[in-house]
Structure 1
């Protein structure tokens, strides 16, 4: 099994790595809220001698290939070239040609400018419509070419892998195993029955939730493309939807009113919202199970080992199975 640990990533190693890449911190390291990778904010002087905030992101060993990480960097560069506000890694002149990905002590890492802002507020219709415009522009760039080294968002192999992980998870209470298997199996089968190949798959942000959308006086900035993958456009839209059916349809209409200024949307993808929601529930559980050997996970996600959590997930999957039988959301605008 791949080594997912960060046990050798000490503060001294981090500072040495940053300095070797060409930045010289003038402050301590502030660990940011990231569990998949290790991310630290620090102050350093830029080339003009002015102090600025930066972020060092150390990629989890064994997760992505170097080629896949560089595709993440290339995608953000393509978006920035199209004047879409994203945070790109710095090309530090440690060597020629310049690179955005560095290695130190067996860890791969990248450096970013630190960007401030507050979380987007989905109940603010102007912000939601503006997000739609940003995503329309993002997807227009995403359509230009496919990823070569990053996987599809949903695949049979990946879903089966998640299923095996959960069924063999020692944290699943014995008393709930039968009920969990009884609901997980039909949900997985329903997702697999979908002909995913009939939908256009493009380069996506992939993890477009409120925490990755920063709003400031300068407008909206999209951050953290670590989960960018190839998939249907609706993946970057549905996580903004909440509330009852009427509320979700109004939110979706607002998003698409901005989105369609720059990119066409295929209404057939509305049928994928609930399957993608179910897939994310399964994927998140499997992610926690696989990462449980990382000491940061038991400390931060202790509820994953409690029977109550698994009871709640059984209920959530039952609700998703019922949602599959419901008709897709309607577009009030008639797109």
Structure 2
């Protein structure tokens, strides 16, 4: 794909011999090219209209007080470039480092709660431009017959007993989510992937990056996504509490929203289990996927059925 990136460089005012560095291969490929970061989209995932909608929200967020978000950069075709049927977008680079599981996460989860609340308040009041369209993240699109990120039944190391356990747990989960509902008080435009790898940190605090999965989902799901791949970390109850403390400094969080946090953490874990199975070519899957990840998902399913993962409830 580097040849495609090279052909895109002049469209962003860069020489064709600009040095390229592959930063990440996950849902998409992300490249550093001179003074830009270029994202090459996976084929068949987002439409052009969906990508343009993501960038419309990101553009609207640039002047939001208390939030630092990655900035889209236009090329000669506008904010979305198309070459050979592939979509590319560019961003201004950010100085700093990705937040890592080994970092002092307790230091950052309160500020992350504040950032998330600001995003949600903006989304509630923002007038979406004509043609705005993003995917919905709900029980059907995550756990249903045609899920956005694949079927958890394809998880590595999943045997018949594990399949029966996850079937029971996800049925209970889906019923709980449907009862919670998708009204505007609980559901709206969210980032949907605020995991550690999508948070950059510098001496001034956090940056939010990679809005590629933003869409319509439960507000509290943004907390669940922040806990991606660390759901078995013993620090989790403290991180949940700190996030909630930060959130309520900016916006309200009702008791029924707090009560749903464990279910949404489990939902996110099931979603990631499916994603790792169907995105085996990604750097993330190669680093974190496999039977051991599936085994931990099953342990969380047992806890969900036993006590609703009460330890995650703030």
- Shorter-chain TM-score range: 0.7 to 0.9
Match of 1:288 in 2: 276
2:11 is equivalent to residue 20 of structure 1: yes
CA contact (8 A) 1:119 1:215 kept: yes
2-structure distance, mates of 1:227, 1:186: 28
Q: Computing the radius of gyration over CA atoms, which structure comes out larger, 1 or 2?
A: 1
Kindly indicate whether structure 1 or structure 2 has the higher relative contact order, using CA contacts under 8 Å at least 6 residues apart: 2
2-structure distance, mates of 1:299, 1:208: 17
**TM-score, length-normalised on structure 1?**
0.77
- SS, match of residue 278 in structure 1: helix
Report the more deviating stretch, 238-247 or 215-224.
238-247
2:207 is equivalent to residue 212 of structure 1: no
2-structure distance, mates of 1:155, 1:37: 24
2:67 is equivalent to residue 82 of structure 1: no
How far has the Cα of 1:318 moved from its partner?
1.9
Q: CA 1:310–1:220 in 2, change beyond 3 Å: closer, same or farther?
A: closer
Q: CA 1:186–1:21 in 2, change beyond 3 Å: closer, same or farther?
A: same
How far has the Cα of 1:298 moved from its partner?
11
Match of 1:273 in 2: 261
How far has the Cα of 1:217 moved from its partner?
2.3
Match of 2:299 in 1: 315
Match of 1:326 in 2: 310
Q: How many residues align?
A: 300
- SS, match of residue 33 in structure 1: strand
2-structure distance, mates of 1:252, 1:299: 25
Match of 2:121 in 1: 140
How far has the Cα of 1:72 moved from its partner?
0.9
Q: CA 1:249–1:317 in 2, change beyond 3 Å: closer, same or farther?
A: closer
Unaligned segments of structure 2, at least 5 residues: none
Identify which of 24, 28, 39 aligns with 1:57.
Answer: 39
RMSD over aligned Cα atoms? 3.2
How far has the Cα of 1:107 moved from its partner?
0.8
Report the more deviating stretch, 309-318 or 111-120.
309-318
* Partner deviation per Cα, 1:149-183 (whole Å, 9 max, x = no partner): 2222222243123598343x3x755xx53202211
- SS, match of residue 108 in structure 2: helix
2-structure distance, mates of 1:201, 1:172: 32
2:182 is equivalent to residue 197 of structure 1: yes
What is the correspondence of 1:202-241 to structure 2 with a 5 Å cutoff?
202-239=188-225
2:102 is equivalent to residue 112 of structure 1: no
Q: CA 1:111–1:25 in 2, change beyond 3 Å: closer, same or farther?
A: farther
CA contact (8 A) 1:146 1:230 kept: no
1-structure distance, mates of 2:235, 2:159: 35
How far has the Cα of 1:228 moved from its partner?
0.9
CA contact (8 A) 1:140 1:263 kept: yes
1-structure distance, mates of 2:127, 2:139: 16
